[in-house]
Amino acid sequence: MKRKLRRVRMRKSRTNNIVLMSSFTIDNYENNERPGGPALFSTLGIIRGGGLPSLIVGRGSDFHFSLKLIEDFIYKLILGKNTFYFKIETLSDGKKKVKLLKSGPKINALPNDGIGVLLNPVCREIDGESIYRIEIPIAIDIQGFSRICKENMEVSLSEPEFPVSKSYLVLHGNSDEINSIYDNLHTIFKFGFREILISYGHDGFELLTSDNKSYYYNPTVIGPNEIGNGDFLIGSYFALRLSRVEISDAVKKAGELSDKFSNENISLLFAL
């Protein structure tokens, strides 16, 4: 059986950009389809944090949404047959049950320019073992590297395999993810990460450093929008740090931006 080739569309590279490697998703939430994925929300976070995003992004030919805010920032589009398609249910305890129905394309490209790269996959479509070849500062969102995604099954988590690298700046994850994967945070720092950003939902987030410093942000406003907050946060924080904003100031500013994002109408933002 012949392997189908994936179509790749590229735009001219710009060396002052923050590269975002990620995917779009189609989320079926309460029987309503909507676009999603870290590519959507981390892009906005980078922009709000003062950065200029350049996307290496995957999606399927079944993705029929128009994302006017995002399209101008796509540098390389990796097009497969399907987009990652999820069925999402809210349980009685408020937690989400996430089931994968379709898998999206793999992303094998690596950034060769830019001032930094944010690796924020959906379901391990980015090869973690190739990270050692990246020489610009790296931010990672752990969710997409730790997910076990099999079609028609509920998504689960396992410990990802990261190579040791001197390029790591910050790793982000929510407290449930990190606590279920690692016995202690020292394991993460051993890979070479200098900072760990932990989200606590309505209780804000905390930034921990490899030299045992801690910075906490308590939200002043808790908005109704909970989708994509973590992706937005890591995008905005990484952009601020790449602009040489000090950690304490970057935590405060990224927190304020996240507060604002939680109160915004996503449909209006992305012209859905």
Beta strands per DSSP E along 61-176: 74-80, 84-90, 96-102, 116-120, 138-141, 147-148, 153-154, 156-157, 168-174
Residue 1 scores a pLDDT above 60: no
In a 10 Å sphere around its CB, with 0-12 CB exposed, 13-18 middle and 19+ buried, how is residue 136 labelled? middle
| Residue 123 reports pLDDT greater than 80 | yes
Residue 187's SS3 state is: helix
pTM of the model: 0.91
Residue 182's nearest CA partner among 206, 159, 209, 201 is: 159
24 φ/ψ angles, rounded to the nearest 5 degrees: -85, 160
What are the sequence ranges of the domains in the chain? 7-264
The chain-wide mean pLDDT, for the chain, equals 90
- The answer, yes or no, to whether residue 269 has pLDDT greater than 70, is no
The Cβ of residue 8 has, within 10 Å, a number of other Cβ atoms equal to 13
Q: What is the pLDDT of residue 147?
A: 95
Spatial neighbors of 48 by CB under 8 A, at least 6 apart, are: 232, 235, 236, 239, 257, 261
Specify the DSSP class assigned to residue 5: P
> Is CATH 3.90.260.10 the classification given to domain 7-264?
no
What tens digit of pLDDT does each residue of 240-266 get? 999 999 999 999 999 999 999 988 877
pLDDT tens across 57-96, in order? 999 999 998 887 888 899 999 999 999 999 998 887 777 8
Of all residues in the chain, the percent with pLDDT exceeding 70 is 92
Decide which of 267 and 211 is more confident.
211
Q: CA 19 to CA 113: how far, in whole Å?
A: 8
Residue 15: its pLDDT value, please? 61
Q: Which of 78-87, 104-113, 229-238 has the lowest mean pLDDT?
A: 104-113
The packing angle between helices 247-261 and 229-242, to 10°, is: 150
The 8-class DSSP code of residue 107 comes to B
Burial of 265 (0-12, 13-18, 19+ CB in 10 A): exposed
